[in-house]
Every structure is written in C-alpha cells, then in structure tokens.
Amino acid sequence: MFVICAQWLILAILRKFFDIYDGYDYLTIVLGLFTLILAFGGIKQGALSEVAFVPDKTEEGSLPTPELDQKMIDTIVQEMEKNKYYLDPNLTLNTFALKLDLPARSVSVHINHGLQKTFIDFVNYYRVEEVKRKIRTGINKKFTLFTVALESGFNSKSTFNRIFKKFTGKAPSEFIDE
C-alpha cells in the first residue's frame, strides 16, 4: 500500500508543480485517494489475533449444552460394539460418521456431551477392552502382546502402552501378571 501511495504522490507532485504531464487525469487522483482511505482503514483495524469468539454463557456460568438425542447416542454405541469399527487403526471421526450415515459434527457432539468422552477416548476404550478380553482368553500366550494390540486396533507399541495404562491404571505387563 505504501508503494502505491508513494507512486501516486510522486505523480501528483510531478503533474502539479513541474507540469511534466500535459493532461490532468482525475482517475489517478480518485484511485490514489481511495488507496489512501483503504491504507488508513487497514492501519486502524485491530489485529485479527485480538478478535475472539465468546459463546453465550448459561446462568450458572457454564457453556450451553447442545440438544442431545439419546437414540443417536445408543446408535453410536451399538454400531461401534456390533461392527467393531475400533479394530481399524485408521478410524477417524469422519469415516466413523460416514459408516453410520450421520453428520460428523453431530456424532462428535453426542460423544463429547452424551458420553463425556472425546472421540479418541471413545475408540480407545473399546480397543483396551478388546485387548483385555483377548488377554483373558489366553491369546497372549500364543502371540506377543504387541501383536494382540495391533489386532485390537492400536498402531504403535508406545501408544498402546500409554493408552492401556490410562484406562486401566496398570501397564499391560502388570495386567497380565494378575
């Protein structure tokens, strides 16, 4: 903006005081004034980082709770358990919502507010339960614990160990020793 304004100023000075150009082009002056107005408006505008969205608060001071449909919550849980979507290590909220033929945003809201979990915690809960079920059947005597974790939907050993401890309070090896 500064370069355009400087160019306009130079042209205006050359035309007015030094009579370098014979005709007077009013379009250049209008364009220059318009550019100056835009430049000053941009300078006076606050930084976008200072703009924040603050949702309306309820009387108690908490955020408003969205309308929840218990039937949808039941459908989400039943479909996860019936079809074992959690076994897919690449499962995302979008792919899960597509399989349910529901909007991803709606699925997310119902899991977050209806089940009080994030989507990741929701999926990992089922994965941990699957590992625990397989350990109880003794499959870990045939295969390594990491193989059991991979078959249960986890995609790395460190993630498996961290998530398993988060949900059970014990490391996988401690759970096996019980």
pLDDT at 152 over 80: yes
pLDDT at 89 over 90: yes
- Residues above pLDDT 90, as percent of the chain: 46
Mean pLDDT over residues 31-54, rounded? 71
Helix (H) or strand (E) segment spanning residue 137: helix 119-137
In a domain, 59, yes or no: no
* 11 plus 98 within the same structural domain: no
Spatial distance between the Cα atoms of 7 and 17, rounded to a whole number of angstroms: 16
Q: In the chain, how many domains are there?
A: 2
In a domain, 56, yes or no: no
* 41 plus 76 within the same structural domain: no
CATH number at residue 146: 1.10.10.60
pLDDT of residue 139: 78
* 35 plus 105 within the same structural domain: no
Written as six digits, the tokens of 89 are 């290590």
* 74 plus 159 within the same structural domain: yes
In a domain, 52, yes or no: no
Nearest residue to 136 (alpha-carbon basis) of 122, 158, 124, 152:
152
* 141 plus 100 within the same structural domain: yes
CB atoms closer than 10 angstroms to residue 114: 18
Mean pLDDT over residues 57-79, rounded? 76
Spatial distance between the Cα atoms of 27 and 164, rounded to a whole number of angstroms: 71
| Assessment of whether the complete model's pTM goes beyond 0.85 | no
pLDDT of residue 61: 55
CA distances from 58 to 4, 51, 52, 147, 155 (A): 50, 22, 19, 48, 41
In a domain, 61, yes or no: no
Q: Is-contact 118 144, C-beta < 8 A? A: no
* 102 plus 18 within the same structural domain: no
pLDDT of residue 130: 93
Q: What range defines the domain where residue 165 resides?
A: 66-178
Produce one character per residue of 124-148: b if its CB has 16 or more CB atoms within 10 Å, e if not. Answer: bbbbbebbbebbeeeebeeeebeeb
